[in-house]
């Protein structure tokens, strides 16, 4: 999906994925060490703003400038600030050993790019840093309650993530079904994969 697609999706007063953080991120937040956090494909900013309210120095990256403008507005409403970077992941080099956490919530990429970005994210963590991911898993084609079900190669399995996250130790790695109620864009029973992985 190109930036124009996402700009159009976000060109509404509503927050398409809500303003509350992702449930799995909330469960993992206590495991993030102090330091800078990078949120990939952060859209309208709900997760970045949540982490900023917890005291982290957060950078939110997305290809949609429209989404990131909403993220900055949401941050201001919560009395925090975040750094936003409007770019495609294809053009953003993740600095090595730079981040305490890298977060990817419902970021679905074509397989070659997914592998590249996940490897760079793994290398981008400093020692003790964590990678946190929730995404729709292959079983989501049965549910059709969100995610790229018409492009199933963009869904991801736990096995694929084990292969992607070179050098990280998985502290949580599971495929589960859960009720995802996160804005109009993600609503209903869903098959997801969840990962919390740490650089040693
Ligand atoms: C389903 S939304 C999820 C937004 C946010 N993570 C959340 O949970 O609310 C996926 C986001 O990934 C972004 N994205 C997808 N491919 C991207 C790419 N190649 N470069 C940068 N952003 C990308 C889209 O612009 C979109 O905002």
Between the CA of 3 and the centroid of ligand 1 the distance, in Å, is: 9
- Out of 43, 67, 104, 118, mutate this one to test ligand 1's pocket (max ligand atoms within 8 Å of CB): namely 43
- Out of 11, 44, 107, mutate this one to test ligand 1's pocket (max ligand atoms within 8 Å of CB): namely 107
Structure tokens that stand for 53 in this block: 């309210």
Nearest residue (by CA) to ligand 1, atom 6, is 42
Only one residue has tokens 């919530």, namely 105
Between the CA of 43 and the centroid of ligand 1 the distance, in Å, is: 5
Structure tokens that stand for 28 in this block: 């993992």
pLDDT tens digit at each of 200 positions of the chain: 789 999 999 999 999 999 999 999 999 999 999 999 999 999 999 999 999 999 999 999 999 999 999 999 999 999 999 999 999 999 999 999 999 999 999 999 999 999 999 999 999 999 999 999 999 999 999 998 989 999 999 999 999 999 999 999 999 999 999 999 888 877 899 999 999 999 99
Domain 3-199 = CATH 3.40.190.10:
no
Structure tokens that stand for 89 in this block: 């992941």
Give me the half-sphere count of Cα atoms (radius 13 Å) on the Cβ side of residue 103.
33
Q: Are strands 83-86 and 125-136 parallel, antiparallel or unpaired?
A: unpaired
pLDDT the model gives residue 163: 98
Contacts of 18 (CB under 8 A, 6+ apart): 46, 182, 183
C-beta of 106 in contact with ligand 1 (< 6 A): yes
- Residue 147, sorted as left (phi over 0), alpha (psi -120 to 50) or beta, turns out to be left
Between the CA of 152 and the centroid of ligand 1 the distance, in Å, is: 16
Cα–Cα dist 38/63, whole Å = 14
pLDDT the model gives residue 2: 87
pLDDT the model gives residue 185: 72
Q: How far from the centroid of its chain's Cα atoms is residue 106's Cα? A: 5
pLDDT the model gives residue 161: 98
pLDDT the model gives residue 24: 98
Cα–Cα dist 136/157, whole Å = 8
Q: Identify the three-state secondary structure at position 179.
A: strand
pLDDT the model gives residue 144: 82
- Taking the complete model, does pTM exceed 0.85, yes or no? yes
pLDDT the model gives residue 108: 98
């Amino acid at each position: 999906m190109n930036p124009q697609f996402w700009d159009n999706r976000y060109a509404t007063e509503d927050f398409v994925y809500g303003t509350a953080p992702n449930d799995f991120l909330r469960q993992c937040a206590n495991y993030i060490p102090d330091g800078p956090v990078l949120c990939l494909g952060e859209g309208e900013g709900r997760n970045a703003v949540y982490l900023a309210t917890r005291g982290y120095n957060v950078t939110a990256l997305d290809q949609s400038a429209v989404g990131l403008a909403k993220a900055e507005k949401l941050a201001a409403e919560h009395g925090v600030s975040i750094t936003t970077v409007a770019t495609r992941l294809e053009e953003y080099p993740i600095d090595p050993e730079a981040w305490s956490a890298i977060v990817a919530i419902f970021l679905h990429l074509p397989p070659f790019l997914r592998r590249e970005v996940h490897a760079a994210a793994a290398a981008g963590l400093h020692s003790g840093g964590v990678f946190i991911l929730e995404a729709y898993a292959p079983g989501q084609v049965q549910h059709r309650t969100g995610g790229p079900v018409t492009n199933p190669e963009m869904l991801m399995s736990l096995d694929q993530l084990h292969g992607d996250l070179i050098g990280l130790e998985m502290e949580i790695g599971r495929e589960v079904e859960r009720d995802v109620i996160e804005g109009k864009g993600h609503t209903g029973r869903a098959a997801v994969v969840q990962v919390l992985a740490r650089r040693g």
